Amino acid sequence: MRFGLTLLIVVLTAVLLIAGWVQSGGMKLRAERAASTPEEAVRALLADIQAHNWEHAYALLDHANDIQKTDFIPDIAGTDGSLRTYSSLQSFDIWPVHADATHATLRVRMNWSSAVGSLDDVRDWPVVRDGSVWKVVWPKPNFANVPLQVLPVNYLRWDVIGKRSDEFGSAAVDSPQVRIISMNAVERPDSVVIVGEVENEDTVPAYLNVSATLLKPDGSPLAKQDSFDEIAHSLLPKQVSPYRIDFPGIRLNQVKSVRMDVHPLLVPASADPVISVENQNVNKDALGRTVLKGALINQSGQVVNIAQVLAVFYDSSGKAIWVSDGYVDQALLPQAPVPFAVDIPADVANRMHDYHVVVNHYTAPSA
Amino acid sequence: MRRLIRKLCFGIVCAALPALSQKVAIQAPSSVSAGSSLAITTTGSGSATLYLIGPSHVRKQSIKLGQEVEISGQDLAASGNYQAVTCDSEGCVSALFQVLPAKPIRLAFMLHPSRVPVSTPKAVNGAALVSDRYHNTVIAPTRVDFHLSLGGESSTRSVESVRGIAWFEMGSRPKQGALQVVASVDDTAEPRVIQQVAAEACGLRMSAAPSGHFVKLQTDPIRDCGGNPLPDGTIVSFTKTDAAGKSTVDTPIKKDKATAQFEVSGPAHISVACGVVVGNELTLGGRP
Q: How far is CA A73 from the centre of its chain?
A: 19
Q: Does B192 touch chain A (CB under 8 A)?
A: yes
Top-confidence residue, A91 or A170:
A91
B202 chain-A contacts, CB cut-off 8 A: none
Chain A residues with beta carbon closer than 8 angstroms to that of B198: 203
Q: Does B162 touch chain A (CB under 8 A)?
A: no
* CB–CB contact A356 B248 (8 Å): yes
Task: Tell me what pLDDT residue B21 has.
Answer: 44
Mean pLDDT (chain B) is 89
* Domains in chain A with CATH codes: 22-136 (3.10.450.100), 174-267 (2.60.40.10), 275-362 (2.60.40.10)
Beta strands (DSSP E) in chain A are: 88-99, 103-114, 117-130, 133-136, 157-158, 178-188, 191-200, 206-215, 221-226, 234-235, 240-248, 257-266, 269-270, 275-284, 290-298, 306-314, 320-328, 337-343, 354-362
Contact with chain B for residue A237, Cβ under 8 A:
yes
Q: Which residue has the higher pLDDT, A288 or A168?
A: A288
Last residue of a domain, one of B148, B174, B197: B197
H helices within chain A, ranges in order?
2-23, 26-34, 38-50, 54-59, 69-77, 346-351
Q: In B, which residues are within 8 Å of A199 by CB distance?
A: 275-276
| pLDDT bucket at B125, cuts 50 / 70 / 90 | very high
For B215-244, letters b (16+ CB in 10 Å) and e give bebebeebbbeeebbbbbbbbbbbbbbbeb
Q: Over range B202-209, report the average pLDDT.
A: 95
B31 neighbors B98 (Cβ within 8 angstroms): yes
Question: pLDDT: is A3 or A229 the higher one?
Answer: A229
Note whether B151 and B222 are same-domain residues: no
- The answer to whether A279 contacts B192, with C-beta atoms less than 8 Å apart, is no
Q: Return mean pLDDT, chain A.
A: 89
Judge contact between A196 and A333, C-beta under 8 A: no
Q: What are phi and psi of A184, to 5 degrees?
A: -145, 130
- B233 touches A at CB < 8 Å: yes
Compute the distance between CA of residue B241 and CA of residue B263 in angstroms, rounded to an integer. 11
Q: Return the pLDDT at B288.
A: 43
Q: Do B231 and A237 touch (CB under 8 A)?
A: yes
Contact check, Cβ <8 Å, A239/B112: no
Same domain, yes or no: B20 and B95: yes
Which of A4-18, A68-82, B131-145 is predicted least confidently?
Answer: A4-18
- Chain B residue numbers with beta carbons less than 8 Å from the beta carbon of A358 are 250
Chain A contact set for B260 (CB, 8 A): 276
> Poorest-confidence range of A332-341, B99-108, B277-286?
B277-286
Q: What percent of chain A clears pLDDT 90, i.e. is strictly above it?
A: 66
Q: Which residues from A are below 8 Å from B232, CB to CB?
A: 156
- The H or E element spanning position A153 is none
Question: Residue B154 in contact with residue B179, Cβ under 8 Å?
Answer: no
- Check CB contact of B170 with chain A, cutoff 8 Å: no
A169 in B contact zone (CB under 8 Å)? yes
Query: What integer is the mean pLDDT of B242-266?
Result: 93
In this prediction, residues A109-131 reach a mean pLDDT of 90
Give the bridge partners for B56, in sequence order: none
B114 and A172 within 8 Å at the Cβ level: the answer is: yes
Cβ contact A156–B112 (<8 Å) = no
Please tell me if residue A357 touches chain B, with a CB cutoff of 8 Å: yes
For A30-87, how does the pLDDT look when each residue is reduced to its tens digit (9 = 90+)?
555 567 899 999 999 999 999 999 999 999 899 888 889 999 999 999 988 999 999 9
Distance of CA A168 to the CA centre of its chain: 46
Q: Does B231 touch chain A (CB under 8 A)?
A: yes
Residues A173-198 have a mean pLDDT of: 94
Q: Is A168 on the interface with B (CB under 8 A)?
A: yes
Q: How far away is chain B from the Cα of A194, in angstroms, using its nearest Cα?
A: 21
A297-313 average pLDDT score: 93
Whether B113 contacts chain A with CB within 8 A: yes
Query: If DSSP states are collapsed to H, E and C, what string results for chain B?
Result: CHHHHHHHHHHHHHHHHHHCCCCCEEECCCEEECCCCEEEEEECCCEEEEEEECCCCEEEEEEECCCEEEECHHHHCCCEEEEEEEEECCEEEEEEEEEECCCCCEEEEEEECCEEECCCCCCEEEEEEEECCCCCECCCCCEEEEEEEECCEEEEEEEECECCEEEEEECCCCCCEEEEEEEEECCEEEEEEEEEECCCEECCCEEEEEECCEEEEEECCCEECCCCECCCCCEEEEEEEECCEEEEEEEECECCECEEEEECCCCEEEEEEECCEEEEEEEECCCC
Q: Are A56 and A48 contacting, i.e. CB atoms less than 8 angstroms apart?
A: yes
The rounded Cα B154 to chain-centroid distance in angstroms is 21
Burial of A80 (0-12, 13-18, 19+ CB in 10 A): middle
- Round to whole Å and give the CA distance between B30 and B158: 33
Residues B30 and B83 grouped into a single domain:
yes
Integer Cα distance of A45 and A39 in angstroms: 10
Q: Of the ranges A24-28, A191-195, B204-208, which one carries the lowest mean pLDDT score?
A: A24-28
How much is the pLDDT for A367? 45
- Which pLDDT belongs to residue A17? 81
Residues B10 and B53 in one domain: yes
**Model confidence at B20: pLDDT above 50:** no
pLDDT for residue B18 is more than 50: no
Position B19 scores a pLDDT of 45
Report pLDDT for B2.
Answer: 58
Domain assignment of residue B53, given as a range: 2-100
Instruction: Tell me if chain B has a CB within 8 Å of the CB of A174.
Output: yes
Q: Chain B contact for A166, CB < 8 A? A: no
Q: What is the CATH number of the domain that holds B261?
A: 2.60.40.1930
- CATH assignment at residue B33: 2.60.40.2470
pLDDT at B265 > cutoff 70: yes
B220 and B268 assigned to the same domain: yes
* Nearest residue to B63 via CA among B53, B71, B75: B71
Q: How confident is the model at residue A148 (pLDDT cuts 50, 70, 90)?
A: confident
- B212 has pLDDT over 50: yes
User: For residue B233, is pLDDT > 80?
Assistant: yes
Burial of A236 (0-12, 13-18, 19+ CB in 10 A): buried
Under 8 Å CB-to-CB from B35, ≥6 apart: which residues?
A: B73, B74, B76, B77, B102, B132, B133, B134
CB-based contact B275 A278, cutoff 8 Å: no
Inter-chain residue contact A280 with B248, CB threshold 8 Å: yes
Confidence band of B138 (pLDDT split at 50, 70, 90): very high
Name the β-bridge partners of A183. A196
| pLDDT-based confidence at residue B151 (cuts at 50, 70, 90) | confident
Q: How confident is the model at residue A354 (pLDDT cuts 50, 70, 90)?
A: very high
Report the candidate in A160, A76, A123, A99 with the shortest Cα–Cα distance to residue A329. Answer: A76
Q: Which of B100, B119, B144 marks a domain boundary?
A: B100
Number of domains in chain B: 3
Judgement on whether residues B216 and B271 belong to the same structural domain of the protein: yes
Q: How close B177 gets to chain A, by Cα (Å)?
A: 13
Nearest residue of chain B to residue A167 (CA atoms)? B108
pLDDT above 60 for B116: yes
CA of A268, closest CA in chain B: separation in Å? 13
Backbone angles phi, psi at B2, to 5 degrees: -65, -40
Is residue A236 within 8 angstroms of chain B, CB to CB?
Answer: yes
From CA A85, how far away is CA A108, in angstroms rounded?
20
- pLDDT (mean) for A227-243: 94
Taking CB atoms and an 8 Å limit, are B275 and A201 in contact across chains? yes
Is residue A81 a contact partner of residue A105, using CB atoms and an 8 Å limit? no
Please tell me the predicted confidence (pLDDT) of residue B3: 62
Do B182 and B145 share a domain, yes or no?
yes
Burial A133-166 (b: 16+ CB within 10 A, else e): bbbbbbeeeeeeeeeeeeeeeebbebeeeeeeee
Average of per-residue pLDDT across B214-237: 95
Kindly determine whether residue B115 and residue A177, on different chains, have CB atoms separated by under 8 Å. yes
Contact A278 B233 (CB under 8 A): no
Of A168, A205, A238, the CB nearest to B275: A238
- Residue ending a domain, among B100, B119, B148, is B100
For residue A94, the distance in angstroms to the closest alpha carbon of chain B comes to: 31
A278 with B197: Cβ contact below 8 A:
no
8 A C-beta contact, residue A234 and residue A202 = no
